[in-house]
Structure 1
């Protein structure tokens, strides 16, 4: 009989353990891949095979972000005629059916995720602290999930509750609203996230074994998040944690897993890249990304790297010396694709003979939005929702509906993250300005004179319905993090220094968009430290020696997005929730006008 211990022999690495030295890998261009990868064969001293190779399926996804309902989103899929078709995809109940069908292809299989299962989630999950997402994953029989950066959005204590269960209140929202929360049946893995005592926050590795006797094979998993996580989450929530080098953590875990009997080693890492042409999720066209330097340094005993974070889909092979190519995969985001992977393992030599993968669309029902309709297609399988998952999700959807559908105000038009005709999200748009204005208005009583909003904290466009009506669900999709507002005092020189830090030698992932009384220009042709020009307050050049009361969300106030200068002001005056500020701003007038001016100009790039 087959053994499926999802937590058995899960290990914790020590921070000070010596890193494993590895041979350098070949550097070569990335190749498109979906076919089986040939192995170079057993090493010279390997025992001759006495048993047939064992097939093990690995089903993987990443960046689910609490999309328990079908997200009214699509994927691009080749139409077989040189073009593409949009396929409606996603939804937990459809994902469950897809996984059930794909498991039938294998006698043995494991189901894993490469991080960001939760947070930045739609209302039906996020309103309930993503407890229903974990309930779905338990029902899907997920085995392991690497910790993503968004798993830390609500802080360390809340993430530990997500793993272990319970109803302790660690945020402004009430846990266990619909049912007692019992925790995750799967194991979080965090090989590169260290606590104050030098141990990993969660086990670094996990083992899953298949078969018995001479036919037994063992797969070891290493899970980790990206080193840059502290710049992507509120620092207060990760106080005391250290995020180490990814390759070093992987290489330290490899000999541990080999000692534990692993025949194959699979890395689940919340870091990734992207193709230059995204029309085929099973290709690797012009691939590049922050995952590349990590792959160049990891042990040749790693067989597969399942990645995430970028929300992009790809299947890549990286050639290397002395073993089969390294297989690199990602399934995009929101449960719209599942990576179906086939490992052929020789139980005698304890080596992977070949590894192949393809991304499978989770086609769900057709849908229509303001941008048009996305019909079903016969090019790929359509999955009917699994009834038990559908009923479970519907319970949370119904609970959220009344709260979500109430009208909070009216807009004069669409408020967008990007100005029309501009494709650079870092520039911001009318919605960022609307949010900044709302936060300034909400904190006037605390003396606020200026407000800044980070573009990365705006998660969706705000498009009103009939007669300009905006529902709570729509503004929640824009700002799902539950940040509080803080107001601190800074000099004009300190404000300019913060703005300069965002466009310096290592630019921030977000720009800072100001309230209506501030404008500035970024001139990227100027030297670092001199790129912020024409900084004004109330139409006049901002006085560098004057003092200003500045409002921002708690993520920024704690140095998020790399804006550490915001931590250096006076002690903060803490206000209410960012979402409450936006709702109050919307409801204060019959119709809120959408900003039309560009408060930030970018030159020289």
Structure 2
């Protein structure tokens, strides 16, 4: 499949005729300082073909709306998101474009699936792929979370088929409707910078070419971040190589131009951080990897649709030739959709950037729900109900929070670490773990309750990855090195303090990276740690493979895989019913 692409004639009419005012569009103007400038809206030119491009990213299987009071359920206080509303907005935007004689294309910049709510995750994210098919998605880059269940499973998401997963064992059930086989994605998953090792063969097509009226063609190159192997489970990407985003895209430009294609858009699962996250339709002070990538991509590339950072922005960043180029992101969870009016010069067949408009629109919940999406969601809600509603324990507080104290230790982090330490599935050869480590990024929400009762669904919302627990041997020296890696190396700029059980220590936030932990304070089971002594520890398979910038885990020995982290969590809550959060006194600062 290397550098083959797909060539398709592409037009999708709307399923509904209601029109939605798109709001004031933003024209891409000349940038100063390589950041953003918004100019007055430019009128369509009769010598140009106008393409209505709609984009989203980081949906993460959020089919049902999140609570409006949560960060995942609103944009600046406006309730937002939900597949039923997103589908209606997309239909309306396409209908409005069609009324103006414009064809539409809908694309995504990765992480459509993975780290999903139980409604999708319980069925291996098949419901989300079905929802994207129903919404008329046409192409998507892969993101790091597309590899959560491994690249073989990603290929199944594209081509279809059912897993023999025991018909619901481990709280997952592929193809639960035995009358219908999972058909896979109608859209093109793209992975230009993901290759099989020692080959030039890409895992999925690197790009797709879409044809529009007046003979215009637009190429979409899809990529994930090069660092994907560092933030996913090692087994999920075994046998694959991830290449540099800029080098990969730039190498494709001559091939596309030899096909007579001048209009090129990159779908990139990598992003940035505006200085004001509330400015969802502008680009104040943006920083992060996408800025360097955008400044280095070939000037022949006309726009970058990005993601990964779960932020929304609408930017103009100068290309290497000093000309402005559109760079956008649409937040996450289907709360925002980006509308771009690509204006293609009929004579040159290239995008006229100064006549191209971009607008980030909130997916508000004041429109009718899409009936087909409601039907799909209702179907899976019925199928997941027996799993989701099962009460697994009780808590004596309204919730157990992941909000950390000054040392970055949290009550929920302690609970999860305790559950991992207590899990019998990781005991092997008579060796029981005495220390547990949990990555804070894997704790996705507070543990909520209903009148004190905790359901499996509420527990799954906290830990949605279905990671396996792994026990292993580490020496005192290795554990000390691990603790320092929270504040150095890949984690020096943004510290990642692991949540722990069985170990206590003190560190200095203002200390020198590599020497922040007070070695004399590190204790296991209340006893000072000894450099040459071997200790049995437990963590999840993501960290075990060195994920989140913790290579010390890869030096451990005698690794043994146990059960799923969510099962350990559920069992611990059942065994400590009711559970009362304890103090955060395991990590101290000085």
Q: Same fold (TM over 0.5)?
A: yes
* Equivalence map 1:304-343=2 (5 Å): 304-320=303-319, 325-343=324-342
What's the TM-score once normalised by structure 1's chain length?
0.85
Equivalence map 1:565-576=2 (5 Å): 565-576=552-563
Matched, 1:360 2:347: no
Q: Distance in 2 between matches of 1:385 and 1:122?
A: 20
Which residue does the alignment assign to 2:369?
385
Match of 1:459 in 2: 444
Tell me by how many angstroms 1:305 deviates.
Answer: 0.6
Q: Partner of 2:423 in structure 1?
A: 442
Q: Distance in 1 between matches of 2:588 and 2:247?
A: 41
Specify the alignment match of 2:57 in structure 1. Answer: 62
Cα distance in structure 1, aligned partners of 2:395 and 2:69: 27
Equivalent residue for 1:372? none
Q: Which one of 107, 110, 118 corresponds to residue 112 of structure 1? A: 107
Alignment of 1:4-403 (within 5 A): 7-8=6-7, 28-33=33-38, 35-36=40-41, 52-73=47-68, 86-106=77-97, 107-169=102-164, 173-178=172-177, 179-196=180-197, 197-211=199-213, 215-320=214-319, 325-353=324-352, 354-364=355-365, 382-403=366-387
CA contact (8 A) 1:157 1:170 kept: no
Q: For structure 1, which segment, 347-356 or 149-158, has the greater mean C-alpha deviation from structure 2 after superposition?
A: 347-356
Q: Give, in whole Å, the separation in 2 of the partners of 1:134 and 1:35.
A: 38
Kindly report structure 1 stretches of 4+ aligned residues shifted beyond 6 Å: none
The separation in 2 between residues aligned to 1:254 and 1:405, in whole angstroms, is: 51
Deviation track 1:521-570 (CA, whole Å, cap 9, x = no partner) reads 33244444322222111223211122111111111122221222212222
Task: Give, in whole Å, the separation in 2 of the partners of 1:185 and 1:34.
Answer: 37
Query: Is the aligned partner of 1:405 residue 2:389?
Result: yes
Does the CA contact (< 8 Å) of 2:304 and 2:326 recur in 1? yes
The residue that corresponds to 1:432 in the other structure is 413
Q: Bigger shift: 185-194 or 125-134? A: 185-194
Deviates more, 1:107-116 or 1:314-323: 314-323
2:471 to 487, 493, 497: 487
Please report how far the alpha carbon of residue 602 of structure 1 lies from its aligned counterpart in structure 2 after TM superposition.
Answer: 4.6
Q: CA deviation at 1:304?
A: 0.8
Superposition pairs of residues 569-584 of structure 1, within 5 angstroms: 569-584=556-571
TM-aligned CA deviation for residue 416 of structure 1: 1.5
Show structure 1 runs of 5+ residues with no match. Answer: 1-5, 11-24, 40-48, 77-83, 365-381
Partner Cα distance (1:54, 1:464) in 2? 53
**Shift in Å, 1:72:** 2.1
Taking structure 2 as the reference length, what is the TM-score of the superposition? 0.87
Residue 358 of structure 1: CA displacement? 0.6
Any conservation in 1 of the 2:122–2:173 contact (CA below 8 Å)? no
Asked whether 1:560 is paired with 2:547, we answer: yes
Cα contact 2:504–2:522 (8 A) shared by 1: yes
Distance in 2 of aligned mates of 1:296 and 1:358: 21
Please state if 1:522 is matched with 2:523.
no
Work out whether residues 26 and 321 of structure 1, in 8 Å CA contact, stay in contact via their aligned partners in 2. Answer: no
Residues 1:502 and 2:486 aligned together: yes
SS in 2 for 1:184: coil
- Matched residue of 1:224: which SS? strand
Task: Give the distance between the partners of 2:442 and 2:583, measured in 1 at CA.
Answer: 20
Partner of 2:403: 418
Distance 2:589 2:152 in 1: 40
Q: How many Å apart are 1:37 and its aligned residue? A: 6.9
Q: 1:277 to 1:236 in 2, by over 3 A?
A: same
- Alpha-carbon contact 1:165-1:184 (below 8 Å) kept: yes
Instruction: State the secondary structure of the residue aligned to 2:447.
Output: coil
